Amino acid sequence: MSHTTVSHVRHSRRDPSREFLAAIGFDRFPRYRPLRGGIHAPLLTSMQFFTEVNNQIRQAGGLTSFCSRHRLPIGSVSNYLNDNRRASDALLQAVGYARLTRFRRRIVRSVSA
């Protein structure tokens, strides 16, 4: 790992990559918080957020209606639903959530000899 990369991550000029996190023994966990819930609102996991997006699409009458209502490109939302891309900031705003990134130290399990 280059000194420049470490410096950029340390000073928040760059997000840590998967490789960087693996090297220092951490995992990234995206969480989602309702915009109107304040700081004490429960955080949703990625699967719970995915379910919330699907529920709002169903309530809107389908993907086309949902995208038209929120002025979102259908391809972008479809890519998220098919697990080809992460949720865009516009999609997050449309469903009323903010993305938070949490990090957790990996648990190292020792193997008995």
Q: 56 near 66, Cβ under 8 Å?
A: yes
Residue 110: per-residue pLDDT? 66
The number of residues in the chain equals 113
Closest alpha carbon to 43 in 57, 26, 56, 30 = 30
Which amino acid is located at 81 in the chain?
A: L
- Is 15-105 a domain of CATH 1.25.40? no
pTM for the full model? 0.73
**Per-residue tokens: 17:** 């990559």
Spell out the per-residue pLDDT of the chain, length 113, in tens.
788 888 888 888 888 888 888 888 888 888 999 998 777 888 999 999 999 999 999 999 999 999 999 999 999 999 999 988 889 999 999 999 999 888 888 877 766 65
Strands 97-105, 26-34: pairing kind: antiparallel
Alpha carbon distances (Å) from 65 to 57, 86, 89: 8, 21, 19
